[in-house]
Amino acid sequence: MDTIFVGSLTLSLLHALIPSHWLPFVTISKTEQWTSRQTLTVTANAGLAHTVSTTLLGILVSLAGWQLAANYRDLSERAIPLLLLALGLWYLMQHLRHHHVHDHIDADAVRKQRSFSGLLLSLGIAMFLSPCLEIEAYFLSAGAQGWSAVMMVALIYNVITLSGMLLMVMLARRGMQQLNADWFEHNENLITALTLVGLAILNFFIEF
């Protein structure tokens, strides 16, 4: 249970901090001249849509973990580090190919929806249709341990991701744009890959 808690917390923090989860809201809000309240409203709406879709997918994945635990205990225990390692290597390949798989929002395309309500809906749909897959490895493992573990992962992911997105947007509007966000955005796949591989190694040695 401790491994699931630490891993879920780490990935949730990572996703809240990478620029693709908050920088588009800042750039669009500047273009549209939104107030801080409007910006945070849009961020919260889109962030909630994102975490809800990820959680719904996670619940489905946790059912597979429950089946694995019921029938193949050894396999279910090995599933989480193997999945994390596989995802980590995939993100590393994407980084080497310079393809940004975390770009949930095409800011230029969204700006074509000029009304506030149109932008709110567009951003919400875009984030709902792009759930994060990395956390699903922990939903799978949590499913093998029971619904209390599944709810723990869901709670951590929703609270940390939403809080982190809102915090980063607020800080960015107060001047964090001066930081080198472009570097993080360009290397976010590498950061994700290293985090996932590190968690896979940690899970392997803790579990075995």
DSSP for residue 131: -
Q: Are 30 and 23 in contact (CB under 8 A)?
A: no
Closest to 194 measured CA to CA, from 18, 1, 75, 47: 18
| Residue 174: count of CB within 10 angstroms of its CB | 9
Encode the chain (208 residues) as per-residue pLDDT tens digits: 677 888 889 888 887 887 778 878 888 888 788 899 999 999 999 999 999 999 999 999 888 777 766 555 555 556 667 766 777 787 778 778 765 545 555 555 555 555 778 778 888 888 888 888 878 888 887 887 888 989 999 999 999 999 999 999 998 888 754 555 566 566 667 776 777 677 777 666 654 3
pLDDT score, position 47: 93
Q: Are 173 and 39 in contact (CB under 8 A)?
A: yes
Q: Are 194 and 21 in contact (CB under 8 A)?
A: no
| Residue 53: count of CB within 10 angstroms of its CB | 16
Place of tokens 């796949």: 189
DSSP 23-43: HHHHHHHHHHT--HHHHHHHH
pLDDT score, position 76: 53
The alpha carbon dihedral of 42, 162, 26, 110 has a sign of: negative
**C-alpha to C-alpha distance for 159 and 45, rounded to whole angstroms:** 14
Angle, helices 116-128/36-71, rounded to nearest 10 degrees: 20
**C-alpha to C-alpha distance for 83 and 89, rounded to whole angstroms:** 10
